[in-house]
Structure 1
Amino acid sequence: MRTIPAGLAAHLKGDVTTICHCWRVFRRDGVVLGFTDHDGDLLVDGAHFLASSGFSASEEEAEAGLSASAGMVAGGFSSDVIAETDLAAGVYDGARVELLVVNWCAPDQFMRLSLREIGEVSRAGGEFTAELRSLAHRLDQPQGRVYGRRCDASLGDGRCRVDLAAYRGHGTVLLVRGRSRLVVAGLQGFASGFFAQGVLRLEAGGELEADAHVLNADGTADLTLWLPSERDIAVGQVFSVTAGCDKAFATCRKKFGNQLNFQGFPHVPGSDFAYSFADGERLHDGSPIFP
């Protein structure tokens, strides 16, 4: 049962209240930010809460039990507080948000209403909307491993063990065709498709996921990105790009020679095999589906 501080409880019993909401954001990089829907900045619990951000929240209902509730918070981008590039870079992903109710006439009268995590964030027209999920949503997340044909490790991590230094190329941007296609130099030693589904790291900062890689006859290469770049990419910018992996057993064996560390289950029959029937063309002797 939640206990309301005596001073705040007395204020709420009055005929007129001066109540506002404050959000304290704890980013995973250690930065702490404060925002309020009041029309002036507040100092609450030793933290500054800024009013210039234009924050507003949706209605929310508290539920008993362990059901995962969610609310929404909206605001405008501010170069001094929240930048669109920060949201695009994911610095707010998974951040914890503490929601306070505060008597703005007496900021020492406050109470914490809930502790949430930032979920899905959408951006449009200079504004953003962020989903605030209760911590109970973690109970809905899959636990343990999922059995599937494809590998569930990340290329180069402790389970995969591939040495990425041998599968990395370096180059220079020659031409920018929109925000999702680059013409680059320096990758002439790699066949087409080698860096498909790989990761492009710009020397100026930022990571981009490559969708396709095509080697041209003149030695240049076309790199197509999964998503358009949020930041401008300048001609002449230096980058490194790491080979991609489609998580298939054949790729792990042929491209990386790493089949002994494959973290999938390639011999698990798929639905096409489960629904098939015995015929005279295929051999059903219990041998592996994939050699």
Structure 2
Amino acid sequence: MAFHDGLKAHLATGTTHVARCWKITRTDGIAFGFTDHDRNLSFGGVTFKADTGLSAVALEQSTGLSVDNTEALGALSDAAVSEADIEAGRFDGAEVEAWLVNWAEIEERTFLFRGTIGEIRRAGGAFQAELRGLTEALNRPLGRIFQKPCTAVLGDAACGFDLDSPGYAAIRAVEAVEDQRVFRWLSFSGFEPGWFTRGRLSVQSGAASGLTGIVKRDWFDERGRVIELWAPLRATVQPGDMIRIDAGCDKRFETCRLKFNNLVNYQGFPDLPGDDWLMAHPVRDGTATGGSRR
């Protein structure tokens, strides 16, 4: 890390007054500032609050491509990091930036760490969050996968399909919900059964606003339309909350052509030979029948 000249001179005096500051930016864009100093500090348009009880253990950093990591410890607070937000997954993958700051001269600071939040543990009114460095991303396998099904996510840059096209999304109020996983409507027409299977349900308002789930099944029963998610949403959804449901895609060649008319962007290889073709070998006499050879 490169130290600010003023901070470097201050540290060389042997009598220091420094503090650590953290900025946490959630994936929904909401940012929080924390410091282990005993009063609030402000710079870069962010106020780093002192009353959050946040602190950090030793930061492990190294050269090369090995992973930097540390942990942050703090108290759960409704005004900062609440147990409900952690349970809902709102801090999963949040971006973290950390500085070492001369609290008497705020301009004298140096950047310590940038990464994301990994595993979060909570107990006894406190939380412990694993902070993963930027090199963590290098542990993920990358590259093109050659397979028959499409590898794109419906609506992403590779797919190129506009989910706001008429007939491919529905926005409506929740009428009934069971276990935060099964949603029911007495009247929900205009889409054939199964249209939303493998699609995405996103909550637009209420306590679970911003959360999403993947649709497991979409069908009609004697009480109306039923949409079931693979896993319960991690916050409470109540009747009257607005949700959006996007059409589902099963990644097949035929679905891309007939349901979405998006064949030009299909990211799979439908003509890829199967294992039986790869194991075939030429024979000198006649047709290979699978029988014993004499």
TM-score w.r.t. the length of structure 2 is 0.74
Measured at CA, do residues 233 and 107 of structure 1 come closer, stay the same or move farther in structure 2, by a change above 3 Å?
same
Deviation at 1:82, TM superposition (A): 3.5
**AA at the equivalent of 1:95:** E
The CA distance in 2 between the partners of 1:48 and 1:161, in whole Å, is 39
The CA distance in 2 between the partners of 1:120 and 1:64, in whole Å, is 21
2:245 equivalent to 1:241: yes
2:65 equivalent to 1:66: yes
Measured at CA, do residues 45 and 171 of structure 1 come closer, stay the same or move farther in structure 2, by a change above 3 Å?
closer
Is the 1:167–1:242 contact (alpha carbons within 8 Å) kept by the matching residues of 2? Answer: yes
Is the 2:181–2:228 contact (alpha carbons within 8 Å) kept by the matching residues of 1? Answer: yes
The CA distance in 1 between the partners of 2:242 and 2:210, in whole Å, is 12
Q: What residue is the counterpart of 1:288 in the other structure? A: none
Is the 1:5–1:109 contact (alpha carbons within 8 Å) kept by the matching residues of 2? Answer: no
The CA distance in 2 between the partners of 1:30 and 1:157, in whole Å, is 20
Of 170-179 and 28-37, deviating more is 28-37
For 1:168-187, list aligned pairs within 5 A.
168-187=169-188
Deviation at 1:238, TM superposition (A): 4.3
**AA at the equivalent of 2:23:** R
Alpha-carbon displacement from aligned partner over 1:174-229 (angstroms, at most 9, x marks no partner): 32211222222333444443211212234424342233234233361222223322
Q: What residue is the counterpart of 2:110 in the other structure? A: 112
Deviation at 1:56, TM superposition (A): 1.9
Q: What residue is the counterpart of 2:131 in the other structure? A: 132
2:159 equivalent to 1:150: no
The CA distance in 2 between the partners of 1:221 and 1:46, in whole Å, is 48
The CA distance in 2 between the partners of 1:170 and 1:10, in whole Å, is 57
Give the alignment's Cα RMSD to 1 decimal: 3.6
The CA distance in 1 between the partners of 2:246 and 2:100, in whole Å, is 48
The CA distance in 2 between the partners of 1:18 and 1:111, in whole Å, is 12
Name the SS of the counterpart of 2:109 in structure 1.
strand
TM-score w.r.t. the length of structure 1 is 0.74
For 1:1-291, list aligned pairs within 5 A.
2-3=2-3, 5=5, 9-11=9-11, 13-14=13-14, 17-25=16-24, 33-43=32-42, 48-83=47-82, 88=88, 90=90, 93-97=93-97, 99-104=98-103, 106-108=104-106, 110-122=108-120, 124-125=122-123, 127-140=126-139, 145-157=144-156, 159-164=158-163, 165-204=166-205, 205-218=209-222, 220-269=224-273, 272-273=275-276, 276-277=279-280, 280=289
Q: Name structure 1 gaps, 5 residues minimum.
A: 282-291
Deviation at 1:116, TM superposition (A): 0.6
The CA distance in 2 between the partners of 1:30 and 1:209, in whole Å, is 19
> Identity percentage over the alignment?
32
Measured at CA, do residues 100 and 78 of structure 1 come closer, stay the same or move farther in structure 2, by a change above 3 Å?
same
Is the 2:76–2:82 contact (alpha carbons within 8 Å) kept by the matching residues of 1? Answer: yes
**AA at the equivalent of 2:109:** M
Is the 2:99–2:113 contact (alpha carbons within 8 Å) kept by the matching residues of 1? Answer: no
